[in-house]
Structure 1
């Protein structure tokens, strides 16, 4: 395994160095050196490319679970390959793939008497279709990242060796013969444009083998599979001044052509716009002068809606309601009648709570309902002051008196009263109206006072 890691590290280092050597400086000057007119033929592009890659081969794939494999513990081995690709359309190409390496696993399913397998993939050749995604965009000549998917079919030449639980290895076929099978490679990946002719290729491929012989053990009657995760470089062939067809964005070329053809029309229109802007500027100056003369008739310094010219009470505070001359309106006088006081007194007399709690007893609801109607009909304000006797601790009494006042407020609000016009306060045992030495005095001290205003 250490050897495989060393190989993978050396490959990755080589790819990074190669990308630096072949990468070209991106065009940031705004010029159009890579521009190709819309509907140009294939000879305007680089349509052939070659690629090399290396990565990890394993019998485990994203399709199914490890427990469903013939050998339940997959191992990672080094693989390598390459391809030649012909780009037919900006989004589609055909490529001939080559792949070789080893695939290993251990812990066979029960009853096999096998401990591991090693399949040497001597070579594989496949023809695949490559579908490039997301290279159609109005704004950019080409995308930096190009997702792709591949699907194809080919021949796999391999030689499986199995090892039994006693440690004895043997070839799957007699006379050390290789096996050739049809297989279907399906993959996906990303290509990163490092320069006009170099792409970093990162992908993942699953090979579906047309038999159950790939790992040397027939189990379950299903076909074997393997996966290959790789990183590599793709080099476009042809003249460097031509862009790659795979990275070309035909929609953006149409947009660029349209902009060029209309450049002269834009310049003529710009001249007309400049002349019109000059005329508009003169009109604006005349309008500003007129507005300055009218400003004194519309100025409202205190924002009360009455112009300063007619405002007899300037500088009124913000939000103050004023009359037509800009002076504050007189506040309405709130009159509490004797009948109103009787409604509140009746609520106080009928108010009962559960012992030691802030829960209002149903007996109190009818009189509290009348108080709620009084608050909503006449828009009165109400102060609720909760009091207790001296039984219990100061902290407990203070909290109980506050909770009882809040309980009454909540009930009144539930009946339609305005919560902003109700104040609930608790005073505990600090304001007795009778002696706490007698039961009658303590009963009098346990109260909630209603103040209507």
Structure 2
């Protein structure tokens, strides 16, 4: 009898669901696209939803029979929930369920005898049950089609149930199991279900949940070692919350979204490629026009003001013949640096002294510098001046001082007639010591300006 009742109830639920499933198939076109991206987070999706459902409550579980009575009965139940979809395959759901639970001892035991028990039946009013569960979409990606319209999910969580059992003794009168009020016990809901997408706003939800109780009070009888439990099979509608243009995250098919993104990128690249080819063709034509040189004088026809010049003629920027150069050529004599020249420079380095902490050259250094200036004037040599300091003072001040001293030597040589364009002055501060800065003699050697003649 119990099996027949369950079978009929499931047939009714499936009969009601059939037209909705058909609607889900027709309302989800295979080629539809969404602007939501695969790596953009959840901002492009609707993540919150509410659901209402109705179904059958029964004090039975496939994992452990029908509690403390031999024959369970199915009764109407109702429920509602709020869900937050964290990932496309994971959500958090807060459920509420209410209804009645019934059973009696009218079924024979396994030995073919009727049960000899003090209670005939019970009826429990499940005033409320509230639970928070994690919902995992087991199958979200449909590899046969780009769009999904059906999901398989499982759930598990924890919560509380408040209920009031009434028991009827054998040949007795129904009475409350606990007259002082409702019983509150911990529940562990574990469930599974199917969800069908009807539109971007509505889903059909078919599910079955077993509730394990932390006690043996549900049917008002403590019979056997197992704790009580009850199940809820339901059908309902889920409504997604948020802007209508956003898709539901729970139906997000990453493979399909990635496919659409790659297809859009390919189309954009193809358009850009065609545009680039057209632009390159126009640019090539313009370049050919600019580069064409009919008379071979090196000036394109577009800029040539004197077309037809003789082959090999030297022309100006306008393509016209240049005047003939009648100025006699002067051969530049390159002076060689002699050992005397190097000795003269070494003497200048040895005799070069500055005021302490300043870039001012002491007068006794002038004669040797005068000889260097005369050498630069007469032979046209170039000179590189490199200023150096010891490590006394800050790095920045030493860098400035070394540069100033090199510039001071340059200005003196220029004042004596040397070509300033042939003298380079550079400061290196304390970065290139030639002796230890730990002794006075070493620091004296490091305070120098090096002359490089070339």
TM-score normalized by the length of structure 2? 0.52
Query: Which residue of the partner structure matches residue 163 of structure 1?
Result: 168
Query: Which residue of the partner structure matches residue 42 of structure 1?
Result: 42
- Go from structure 1 to structure 2 and tell me whether the alpha carbon gap of 1:269 and 1:27 turns closer, same or farther (over 3 Å shift): farther
**Helix, strand or coil for the counterpart of 1:63?**
coil
Query: Which residue of the partner structure matches residue 318 of structure 1?
Result: none
Query: Which residue of the partner structure matches residue 93 of structure 1?
Result: 91
How many Å separate the matches in 1 of 2:198 and 2:30? Answer: 18
- Go from structure 1 to structure 2 and tell me whether the alpha carbon gap of 1:216 and 1:64 turns closer, same or farther (over 3 Å shift): same
Tell me which of 193, 198, 207 is aligned to 2:197: 193
TM-superposed CA distance for 1:29, in Å, is 7.9
**Helix, strand or coil for the counterpart of 2:263?**
helix
- What do the CA deviations read for 1:44-82 (whole angstroms, capped 9, x no partner)? 11100000000011112211345xx31010011000000
Tell me which of 200, 204, 208 is aligned to 2:208: 204
Query: Which residue of the partner structure matches residue 56 of structure 2?
Result: 56
How many Å separate the matches in 2 of 1:30 and 1:13? Answer: 29
For the aligned residue pairs, the C-alpha RMSD in angstroms reads 3.3
Query: Which residue of the partner structure matches residue 107 of structure 1?
Result: 105
TM-superposed CA distance for 1:196, in Å, is 1.3
Instruction: Write out aligned runs for 1:182-331 (5 A).
Output: 182-263=186-267
- What do the CA deviations read for 1:338-387 (whole angstroms, capped 9, x no partner)? xxxxxxxxxxxxxxxxxxxxxxxxxxxxxxxxxxxxxxxxxxxxxxxxxx
- Go from structure 1 to structure 2 and tell me whether the alpha carbon gap of 1:240 and 1:217 turns closer, same or farther (over 3 Å shift): same
Instruction: Write out aligned runs for 1:60-139 (5 A).
Output: 60-66=60-66, 69-107=67-105, 110=115, 112-138=117-143
- What do the CA deviations read for 1:174-218 (whole angstroms, capped 9, x no partner)? 33x110000001000000111111111111010001001111000
How many Å separate the matches in 1 of 2:30 and 2:194? Answer: 27
**Helix, strand or coil for the counterpart of 2:61?**
coil
- Go from structure 1 to structure 2 and tell me whether the alpha carbon gap of 1:183 and 1:269 turns closer, same or farther (over 3 Å shift): same
- What do the CA deviations read for 1:393-424 (whole angstroms, capped 9, x no partner)? xxxxxxxxxxxxxxxxxxxxxxxxxxxxxxxx
- The answer as to whether partners of 1:15 and 1:233 remain within 8 angstroms in 2 is no
- Go from structure 1 to structure 2 and tell me whether the alpha carbon gap of 1:263 and 1:155 turns closer, same or farther (over 3 Å shift): same
- Go from structure 1 to structure 2 and tell me whether the alpha carbon gap of 1:139 and 1:267 turns closer, same or farther (over 3 Å shift): farther
How many Å separate the matches in 2 of 1:118 and 1:222? Answer: 19
TM-superposed CA distance for 1:164, in Å, is 0.6
- The answer as to whether partners of 2:30 and 2:145 remain within 8 angstroms in 1 is no
How many Å separate the matches in 2 of 1:71 and 1:86? Answer: 38
**Helix, strand or coil for the counterpart of 1:146?**
strand
Deviates more, 1:148-157 or 1:137-146: 137-146
**Helix, strand or coil for the counterpart of 2:251?**
coil
- The answer as to whether partners of 2:88 and 2:252 remain within 8 angstroms in 1 is yes
- The answer as to whether partners of 1:104 and 1:119 remain within 8 angstroms in 2 is yes
TM-superposed CA distance for 1:117, in Å, is 0.4
- The answer as to whether partners of 1:156 and 1:180 remain within 8 angstroms in 2 is yes
- Go from structure 1 to structure 2 and tell me whether the alpha carbon gap of 1:43 and 1:148 turns closer, same or farther (over 3 Å shift): same
Deviates more, 1:44-53 or 1:137-146: 137-146
TM-superposed CA distance for 1:266, in Å, is 6.2
Instruction: Write out aligned runs for 1:343-354 (5 A).
Output: none
- The answer as to whether partners of 1:184 and 1:208 remain within 8 angstroms in 2 is yes
- Go from structure 1 to structure 2 and tell me whether the alpha carbon gap of 1:135 and 1:118 turns closer, same or farther (over 3 Å shift): same
How many Å separate the matches in 2 of 1:17 and 1:147? Answer: 17
TM-superposed CA distance for 1:40, in Å, is 1.4
Larger Rg: 2
Tell me which of 152, 156, 162 is aligned to 1:151: 156
How many Å separate the matches in 2 of 1:56 and 1:136? Answer: 31
- The answer as to whether partners of 2:24 and 2:149 remain within 8 angstroms in 1 is no
TM-superposed CA distance for 1:221, in Å, is 2.4
TM-superposed CA distance for 1:251, in Å, is 2.4
- Go from structure 1 to structure 2 and tell me whether the alpha carbon gap of 1:15 and 1:96 turns closer, same or farther (over 3 Å shift): farther
- The answer as to whether partners of 2:141 and 2:254 remain within 8 angstroms in 1 is yes
TM-score normalized by the length of structure 1? 0.52
- Go from structure 1 to structure 2 and tell me whether the alpha carbon gap of 1:29 and 1:157 turns closer, same or farther (over 3 Å shift): closer
How many Å separate the matches in 1 of 2:28 and 2:149? Answer: 13
- The answer as to whether partners of 1:127 and 1:153 remain within 8 angstroms in 2 is yes
TM-superposed CA distance for 1:24, in Å, is 11
Count of aligned residue pairs for this structure pair: 260
* Unpaired runs of at least 5, structure 2: 107-113, 275-454
- The answer as to whether partners of 2:25 and 2:149 remain within 8 angstroms in 1 is no
